[in-house]
Structure formats: C-alpha cells, structure tokens
Amino acid sequence: MTTHKTRMLIIGSGPAGYSAAIYGARAGMEPIVVQGLQPGGQLTITTDVENYPGFEDVIQGPWLMEQMQKQAEHVGTRMMWDTIVDVDVAGGSPFRAVGDSGDEYIGDVLVIATGAQAKWLGVPGEEELGGKGVSACATCDGFFYRGKKVAVIGGGNTAVEEALYLTNHSDDVTLIHRRDELRSEKILQDRLFASEKISTLWNKTVESFEAGENGKLGHLVLVDTVTGEKSTLEVDGAFVAIGHAPATELFKGKLPMDDGGYLLVEAGTPMTEIPGVFACGDVMDHTYRQAVTAAGTGCMAALDAERFLATLEFAEKEAAE
C-alpha cells in the first residue's frame, strides 16, 4: 500500500475532472486525478463531437478526452489508474480516499467529478447499435438526423425535452412511453402536445432495436404493455431518455444529495456543505449535462479550491505566530 499526498485530490476523469486538474496544476496545487473505471468518462463512448467549442471540424469524443488528459498531465497533474472505493470527508481537510488498488490518497481539498451515466433499457440491439442510430443524448447527436425519422423513449422531463429539441432537425418525432401519461412537467407536456412534428405511442415498451440493411438502426420492435401485442416502428434514430444515474454511491450518508442522488452544492458554486469538498460536472448537474458545462464547473471547483487553500494556509500561519 502506498500513500499519495496532494494539495488537490480529484476523483473522476471526464471534462470536469480534467478541467479542474488543468486549473489546479497551473495554480501550483499539484493535483492527483484518480481516473476511475472509465478514464475520460462518458465522451469516450461517443463518436462525433460537434458542439465542443474550439474545433472547426467534427472531432471524436475519445480523442477529445485524450487531449484533455495530456493537457492536464503536461501542466503537472499526476494520473492514477485506480478506482476510489472509500472516502472519508467527515473530519474536514485533509480528506482521505482509498483506491481499489489498496493505495491511500490524501488531499487538502477534494474535488468530486465522478459524473453520471445515462440509463439504458438493456434490450437486444441497444448496445450493438450505439452510435449507429441509438443514442442517449439528442443535444449531442440530434443534428445527425436532420430530415430523418426519430423516436424518443421515456416519459419524464428529459424525454419530452429531447423530443422537442429533435423537432429542430426532424419533422417526424415519435415519443414512446410505457404508460398512458407522462411524468414530465405540464408546461413541457403542453408544448409537446402542441407540436405537429411529434406523435406519441402510449403503453409501449421497446423489445429490441433492429438493424437495417446498411447495418444501422432500421426499426424498433415494440410491445403493448396492456394487450401484449407486438408492432414495429421504422426509425433512423432512437434516443433513450429514461433518466441518468449520478455516480454518487461512494458519498451516500457522507454528503447531501437530492432525490435523484445528485450531490447538492451551494447555488451557483461547486461548494458542497463540507468546506474543501467541491463537486463539479454531471455529478451535481442534472439539467445541462454537457461536456462544456462540466468543464466550466471543473474550472470553478479549482478556483474555489485555490481560495479555500489560501484561507486555510493563512489561518494556519496566524495560529503558528
């Protein structure tokens, strides 16, 4: 077992974690990033990225994350191929975390950037056709279905927002929901029902995603939840919008969370209720969930971490004199 000490310990390696690391390293905090099970985060499982500013041409998600990692390393971040399995924040700074490797990490500040993951249906064809018609993010991939036929699966705010967003690109959007009423807010429902571009299929679940002749998504096999009857729906794109799960298991009972398990922060900041513990990116944001917003809150976490450390060091110096 090795103990790694740092002024800034970052858990998670998506755009939030890497941005916090870049700012933290440049501020002399010599950050350690513990990368977790999926180094690079959700963007490593997407293909084309067209909405991250700074690139004229389409870039690839894994490439973008590789660049962020290298940039963070270049300015002085240490990357650890480990997954945190336990954290101790109760006693205040310094904070202690333990990795799957058995190694111990001690940080004067702790930045939590563990992200969130879209929930999937787990039915045949879904994984195989991921990036070939099946997606969990209309904002990311909707553009690729300009003028095509698309479906959204789900009945919450995300599903309705995704369906409405897709009408910017497609005149033929079908919302498929497993019940006969939506759980989304009424105002969103009103907009959905008012749109001539959106039709709804009630009481239907997706049994499988099937490829067409070109190897991309061709149709969905649906099952009626009331009659059990099967049907098919031809689509070019299908967006699974059945919710996201933040990666906050580690922090249960240790940091306050909302009902969905997202970490609670002081409004407009990345500060949790424990001084010196910051949360950034999708782990604290169920609304925007974009790479660029995650990077933004990662930057905020590093700036606030720097302030926290400066205050801490000043207080220690005063006490010593």
Contact set with ligand NDP (CB under 6 A): 121, 154-159, 161, 178-179, 183, 205, 242-244, 260, 286-287
Question: Least distance in Å: CB of 181 to ligand NDP?
Answer: 8
Rounded-to-integer distance, Cα 80 and Cα 85, Å? 14
Q: Which is nearer to ligand NDP, 161 or 304 (CB)?
A: 161
Q: Which is nearer to ligand NDP, 74 or 179 (CB)?
A: 179
Supply the DSSP symbol for 102: S
Question: Least distance in Å: CB of 166 to ligand NDP?
Answer: 14
Q: Which is nearer to ligand NDP, 6 or 184 (CB)?
A: 184
Q: Which is nearer to ligand NDP, 19 or 157 (CB)?
A: 157
Residue 2: burial class (beta carbons within 10 Å; 0-12, 13-18, 19+): exposed
Question: Least distance in Å: CB of 223 to ligand NDP?
Answer: 11
- Radius of gyration for the chain, computed over Cα atoms and rounded to the nearest angstrom: 22
Q: Which residue is nearest to ligand NDP (CB)?
A: 156
Measure Cα distances from 113 to 285, 294, 297 in Å: 11, 9, 10
Catalytic positions are 137, 140-141
Helix, strand, coil percentages (3-state) for the chain, rounded to 5, are: 30, 30, 40
Residue 303: burial class (beta carbons within 10 Å; 0-12, 13-18, 19+): middle
